[in-house]
Amino acid sequence: MIVQLDNLATEQLIVAAGATDTTLRDTVDDLGSSQVADLLIDEIAFRAEIPVTDQPVQVQLDVLDRDRRYCYTFNAETGKMFTVAKSANPDAAQLIEYQLVDLCRELFGPSRRYSAAQRRVEARFKPANTPALWKAVVASHQATTALLAGIDNREIDLNALPARYYSDKWGGLHWFTSHYEKHLRHLRDEHVRILEIGIGGYAMPSVGGGSLKMWRRYFPRGVVYGMDIFDKSAFTQPRVTTLLGNQSDPDYLASVVEKYGPFDVIIDDGSHINGHVRTSFDALFSTVRPGGVYVIEDLWTTYCPGYGGDVSTKAAPTTSIGLIKMLVDAINYEEHPDGGKSMGGVGSQITGVHAYHNIAFLDKGKNSEGSIPDWVPKHPVNDFRPA
């Protein structure tokens, strides 16, 4: 299926799905109902669970818009993602119908803990009491359940997504997703923009991209941008755009922010070269939206000379962990004798520093709570030492 809408157009639809009926209707008309229907179907196929069925089975899903009907056949086969054909199938075991604007809200509208189903479902089994029929009924139920999981609002286990999309953020080398869940879940149902530096696979054009897919699935109303020094355009897909550029080039980073930012989440999983990490932070942190998060992965390179680190057990100021240590000071800039001037002002923009094994999360916001008043004694008032 060919989906023609880019991230900017998709963002228009996401915003409209949380607005009035008139706004959503006008946006669908502007973008084209056929293109919107294709985008929604691709999204369902991407989000759906991997089917486990007793036999191959087809489910037809029709999207209705005024006098138009767009027909799609989902093919379910155990252990494989759904494949979709843009056509009707009279032999499909089930027919599911959605009005286009209702499906837009189901997929891209604000999360609701409970909402009545907006679909019409029609079973298409032939009335015959045979073992083959009942086997088909079971397979249809299994396929339909997996398919509707791509539409219904369900809790996502972030720890399970790396295995599905071949990301290394959980299991084996790294154990990051539980920390990501803790620090990003407040944004999950928001309309957000995510920038990840580093797509993976080094120079191999068809290797990598697992994290981009993971973020696309985790943030149902988000758009994802992936940056890499190698061409990874093979991983561009609905709600995911790949960018070719160098994270150590401040001018290039500024151009990315100007065209696609600001961002709610920025993840540095790029070269891991300490100087590059510092350059990217200096160029990008201030552009994160208030309430957003900046993430630095693979802090282990702090202790690797080959990455610009140091074998010393105490991180040098020029390293990634040196940066984290500096930010702990910076967050308390109002208590510094010079008011934090030596920190370059970053302290007023950072509200939290959270460090874990090989990963750190930096909260963006307004940090201006004021210093401890002058009248508070700057020495212990009482001597609590035992007699």
Is the pLDDT at 248 greater than 80? The verdict is: yes
- 339: which 2 tokens? 């008011």
| The model's pTM | 0.92
| Domain contains 377 | no
- 317: which 2 tokens? 């100021």
Same domain, 261 and 318: yes
Same domain, 201 and 219: yes
Query: What local confidence, expressed as pLDDT, does residue 130 receive?
Result: 67
Query: What local confidence, expressed as pLDDT, does residue 184 receive?
Result: 98
Least confident range from 22-31, 177-186, 337-346: namely: 337-346
Is the pLDDT at 379 greater than 90? The verdict is: no
| SS3 (DSSP) at 84 | strand
| Domain contains 387 | no
pLDDT tens digits, 294-311 = 999 999 999 999 999 999
Same domain, 134 and 177: no
Three-state secondary structure of 23-77 = HHHHHHHHHCHHHHHHHHHHHHHHHCCCCCCCCCEEEEEEEEECCEEEEEEEEEC
Same domain, 81 and 130: yes
Query: What local confidence, expressed as pLDDT, does residue 126 receive?
Result: 67
| Domain contains 44 | yes
Same domain, 90 and 171: no
Highest mean pLDDT among 35-49, 139-153, 366-380: 35-49
Same domain, 213 and 127: no
Same domain, 92 and 195: no
pLDDT tens digits, 8-67 = 999 999 999 999 999 999 999 999 999 999 999 999 999 999 999 889 999 999 999 999
- Active-site residue identified among 174, 183, 191, 272: 272
Same domain, 352 and 267: yes
| Domain contains 372 | no
Beta carbons of 191 and 218 less than 8 angstroms apart: no
| Domain contains 110 | yes
Least confident range from 7-16, 29-38, 197-206, 369-378: namely: 369-378
Beta carbons of 319 and 308 less than 8 angstroms apart: yes
| Domain contains 381 | no
Same domain, 163 and 117: no
Query: What local confidence, expressed as pLDDT, does residue 114 receive?
Result: 61
Annotation says 354 is catalytic? no
Same domain, 137 and 183: no
Count of domains observed in the chain: 2
Residue 329 belongs to what domain range?
158-364
| Domain contains 242 | yes
| Domain contains 2 | no
Q: How many CA atoms lie within 13 A of 183 on its CB side?
A: 26
